[in-house]
Amino acid sequence: MENNDTHENTIVCVNCPRGCRVRVQSQNGEITNITGYQCDLGIDYAREEFKNPTRILPTTVRVKGGELELVPVKTARPIPKASIGEAMQELARVRVQAPVKRGQVVVEDIAGTGIEVVATRSIALSQEQQDKTSDKKETG
């Protein structure tokens, strides 16, 4: 008995401003037809999105001793969509010490993907932490 697991997915291409609604037909997990694209970027995007969907993950992590309690971060490159839940759990446990510099690596290897998470904004020390630092310098 032959398994004919046939599906059609619609993927909105984000590689150019057109936003083509690309239709990917598949059978038994293999692409059989792609339609609805208006350029080669659309067909390439649809193939990759079908086989291995990835996303840039933007979120925030907690800051210790900063003028703000959270710093915005993002993955340096797209991570597999299936790894986003695990990545969010890891990031919920992260506490970064202020000051934080934009572009600073916050996590070296998120969810075992080999991809870094970086700060997208600088966060200065809180006034309280600045006062403590200057008090130590004056007494030391």
Alpha helices by DSSP H, listed for 8-126, are: 40-51, 84-92
- Stated pTM of the model: 0.80
Lay out the sheet containing 105-107: strands in order across: 95-97, 58-64, 70-75, 117-119, 105-107
Among 7, 49, 1, 52, residue whose Cα is nearest residue 32: 7
- CATH number for the domain spanning 40: value is 2.20.25
72 with 127, same domain?
Answer: yes
83-107 burial, b at 16+ Cβ within 10 Å, e below that, comes to bbeebeebbeebebebbbeeebebb
90 with 121, same domain?
Answer: yes
37 with 90, same domain?
Answer: no
- CA–CA separation, 15 vs 87, rounded Å? 25
- Whether the CA torsion 36, 38, 44, 46 is positive or negative: it is negative
Could you tell me the pLDDT band of residue 2, with boundaries at 50, 70 and 90? low
Alpha helices by DSSP H, listed for the chain, are: 40-51, 84-92, 127-139
pLDDT for 128 equals 80
Tens of pLDDT, residues 95-136: 999 999 999 999 999 999 999 999 999 999 988 877 776 666
Find the domain containing 93 and state its range. 58-131
Could you tell me the pLDDT band of residue 1, with boundaries at 50, 70 and 90? very low
pLDDT for 139 equals 61
Instruction: Confirm whether 139 is domain-assigned.
Output: no
